[in-house]
Amino acid sequence: MENPSFISSADQAAVPFKTKWQAPSNIALVKYWGKTEPQLPKNPSLSFTLSSSVTTTEVEFSPNNRETFEFEFYFEGALKADFNPKLNSFFDRIKTYIPWLNSYSLRISSQNSFPHSSGIASSASAMAALSLCLMDMERKLFPEIAEVGFYKKASFLARLGSGSAARSVEGPVTLWGKNSVQKTGSDLYATAFGTDLNPVFSSYQDTILLVDKGTKAVSSSQGHQLMHNHPFATQRFIQAGHNLADLVAIMKSGDLDGFMRIVETEALSLHAMMMTSNPYFILIQPNTLEIIQKVWKYRKETQIPLCFTLDAGANVHLLYPQKNKEEVGAFIAAELVSFCEQGQYLFDEVGTGAKKV
């Protein structure tokens, strides 16, 4: 049993309820790559919570006299069965922790603020939004749940849907996984970085350059699997632990040179793991490298602290302080747009976490 304290009671009369939550996507600065069952990370990770890239989910709970849990899932207004396998395994995993769910039929309606296949991690925002709806129902049944316990368990449930979703509940920066610098760090859920976050990071910009909007050749789940028996796995997990410890200090001090060095190291290490897996694979594309070279040249010439990170795909996230928004925007429009599929990119920035709508 993972953590008995997360199991709620089933002894409560079922009541109808409807709730709606909006949860953001996130971008990891220290990457989670490699896990054990059930969705436990092999190393700690740290991420920026985004602001405009969100999933909004409404759940209608209807008491079900047959005592058999069932759900219908609507995506952008249409009944969508494609997501049912993923949702079924999510519900199977979380039912132990929210046993009251068995007396309900759910109507789940979800929509994303960002375009489909834009390379933004929609599973993170989607699983977080759904988990918050479930926790809201739990709070209706058991009103004594404390605020901090509410968000912790929402992150715990979200993690069981998609690992990185654990980091999409709170903001502006979250930490997930046992680590050497934070005594309370847990593999079970993510928590918000403390109040000592340097102010430069609470308004940091993330512009997502859409290099390739297509489906990835190798999914994240397959990639995580390939970290078992990976020749460099042990060293990678140690590296991530050190990078996290260094980055935590930097998130307090505001040392932007240190920030850029760690963030770019992490992005390239993630992709180096992919390229050295068995079987090996490559998700970056020629335009990803063109952009990286341009960013380095621009940084050298202007001294503007612009850096990049990568998710599990070819798209590039450009990270920079809010005060440099104008000049970086001009640089993107002039020099980077030609490397984006159909010239597309999205402006986002660090946000404060999920909210009820």
Residue closer to ligand PMV by CB (options 110, 125) is 125
Q: Is 114 in the site for ligand PMV (CB under 6 A)?
A: no
Q: Contact region for ligand PMV (CB under 6 A) — 28-36, 52-60, 133-141, 235-243?
A: 28-36
**Separation of alpha carbons 317 and 320, rounded Å:** 10
Q: Is 162 in the site for ligand PMV (CB under 6 A)?
A: yes
Residues 6+ apart with CB under 8 A from 109: 57, 58, 59, 74, 75, 77
Q: How many of the other CB atoms lie within 10 Å of CB of 67?
A: 10
Among 28, 256, 267, 316, binds ligand PMV (CB under 6 A): 28
Residue closer to ligand PMV by CB (options 153, 317) is 317
Residue closer to ligand PMV by CB (options 271, 294) is 271
Among 311, 341, 348, 349, binds ligand PMV (CB under 6 A): 311
Q: Contact region for ligand PMV (CB under 6 A) — 60-68, 73-81, 161-169, 334-342?
A: 161-169
Q: Is 294 in the site for ligand PMV (CB under 6 A)?
A: no
Among 34, 44, 119, 163, binds ligand PMV (CB under 6 A): 163
* Longest CA–CA separation in the chain, Å: 68
Residue among 224, 266, 18, 27 at smallest CA distance from 125: 27
Residue among 303, 297, 14 at smallest CA distance from 137: 14
Q: Is 164 in the site for ligand PMV (CB under 6 A)?
A: yes
In the complex, what is the shortest distance from the CB of residue 149 to ligand PMV, in angstroms, rounded to a whole number?
A: 23
**Separation of alpha carbons 205 and 182, rounded Å:** 26
Residue closer to ligand PMV by CB (options 247, 328) is 247
Among 25, 31, 259, 307, binds ligand PMV (CB under 6 A): 31
Contacting ligand PMV within 211-240 (CB under 6 A): 220, 224
Q: How far is CA 42 from CA 39, 84, 300, in A?
A: 9, 28, 35
**Separation of alpha carbons 334 and 152, rounded Å:** 43
Q: Contact region for ligand PMV (CB under 6 A) — 6-14, 30-38, 54-62, 143-151?
A: 30-38
Residue closer to ligand PMV by CB (options 312, 328) is 312
In the complex, what is the shortest distance from the CB of residue 338 to ligand PMV, in angstroms, rounded to a whole number?
A: 26
Residue closer to ligand PMV by CB (options 29, 256) is 29
Q: Contact region for ligand PMV (CB under 6 A) — 160-168, 206-214, 297-305, 327-335?
A: 160-168
Q: What does the binding site for ligand PMV look like in residue numbers (CB under 6 A)?
A: 28, 31-33, 45, 121, 123, 162-164, 220, 224, 270, 311-312
